Amino acid sequence: MNELRQEIPQENESFGSVNPVLVKRQYILQQNPFLMGDELDDPALEIKSVDEFTLSRKNDRIPLYLLLSLNDVKRGKKRRLIKRNFKLWKKEYLAKEKEFLQRVHNQKTATKDKNVKKFPFVTWLIYLFSFLMVLVLFYNYPMFQKNAPGVYRFLYRVKEITSTYFGEALLISLSLVLFFVLVYGIYQNRVLCFLNRKFKASSRQLAILSESSKRTFRKKYKKAYRFYLAKIDNPSQNAFGLNNLIEPKYRFSQMEKLFDLDMENASNFAKNNKLFKLKRILMHSVTILLALALICYVGFRMIAK
């Protein structure tokens, strides 16, 4: 046993200085293998199997492969040590899983009532009708000359009034704003629908991945647990390779990235949803003010004469 305790310091001394790769490797091998992320894929660390991970004892740690090869440690003690450490690994994983799933649940709860605040279709039709009316009444009024002379004379008088500098500025401004709102309404709905689909897709993918990871861990844990209990009686068995652990896509490091992406998508959708609503209110206000200003100006000039 004393040889084991001296093994790591002797390895460090042989280098003459601290090797950061070796330090990182030793640190990782003391962690829970089921909670490891992309570090396991680093070829510089040369971690090939679960056998290299260390188990906690009273005053030190011992690699799995070394524990299994020791003849002076009784079979029952090996089983107790492996069982205790595997149960500890399971407890740590389940705690991490519970915390992560709670975050996913909180995120889902916070965003489940987020509806797309689209530009209402009825409102868009009203703007379209208003825009067409402006084009007809102010720019194509001669069409009423034969069939509706009274309307023609009225519109002709309105045209004279709006031919002034101020009247023309109001009319052009109103026409441009109406056209802009029509285009903006289509653009807003397309953008919001795209962001909403993107957010829902990442949320759905995260939910599926979370549920799959739960099943995967329980399956892989049971397999590794039984493997090492059986290996006590047959230590010459091949090592339990890292490929038999949780697949990379089910690691918490990958799910954290997907969760961050989901949070970003939700934030973008909520921000744009609110921003578009404010812009829509502003455009409605500008349109109404311009229309009232034009009506008041035309009415005032007619009364004045």
Q: How confident is the model at residue 84 (pLDDT cuts 50, 70, 90)?
A: very high
* Residue-level pLDDT at 5: 41
Alpha-carbon separation of residue 210 from 189, 200, 248, 253 (angstroms): 31, 15, 13, 12
33-67, pLDDT tens digit by residue? 888 877 777 777 788 888 888 898 888 888 888 88
The answer to whether residue 15 scores a pLDDT higher than 70 is no
Give the model's pLDDT for residue 6.
Answer: 37
| Residue 10 lies inside a defined structural domain of this protein | no
What pLDDT band is residue 113 in, cutting at 50, 70 and 90?
A: low
pLDDT at 16 over 80: no
Kindly tell me if the per-residue pLDDT of 22 is higher than 60: yes
In a domain, 102, yes or no: yes
Does residue 228 belong to any structural domain of this protein?
Answer: yes
**Count helices and strands in the chain by DSSP H and E runs:** 8, 2
Render the burial of 118-153: b for 16+ CB within 10 Å, e for the rest: bbeeeebeebeebbeebeeebeebeebeeeeeeebe
Nearest CA to 259 among 270, 267, 269, 247? 267
Q: What is the pLDDT of residues 194-219, one digit of tens each?
A: 888 887 787 788 778 888 888 888 88
Q: What is the pLDDT of residue 68?
A: 87
Asked, for residue 67, whether it belongs to a domain, the answer is no
Rounded percentage of the chain residues whose pLDDT exceeds 70: 88
251 vs 98, more confident: 98
Rounded Cα distance, 287 and 180, in Å: 10
pLDDT at 278 over 50: yes
Q: How many domains does the chain have?
A: 1
Asked if the structure places residue 55 within a domain, the reply is no
pLDDT at 83: 92
- Residue 5 is assigned to a structural domain of this protein: no
- Predicted confidence (pLDDT) at residue 287 exceeds the cutoff of 80: yes
Average pLDDT value over all residues in the chain: 80
Answering whether pTM is above 0.75, one says no
Residue the block writes with tokens 């040889």: 3
The reported pLDDT for the residue numbered 88 is: 92
Domain that holds residue 232: 73-305
Residues 221-231 have a mean pLDDT of 89
- Which of 181, 184, 249 shows the shortest CA–CA distance to 210? 249
Assigned domain for 183 exists: yes
pLDDT at 23: 86
Let me know if residue 145 belongs to a domain.
yes
For 118-174, write each residue's pLDDT tens digit: 888 888 898 898 888 888 777 766 766 667 777 667 777 777 777 778 878 888 888
User: Looking at this protein, which amino acid is placed at residue 212?
Assistant: S
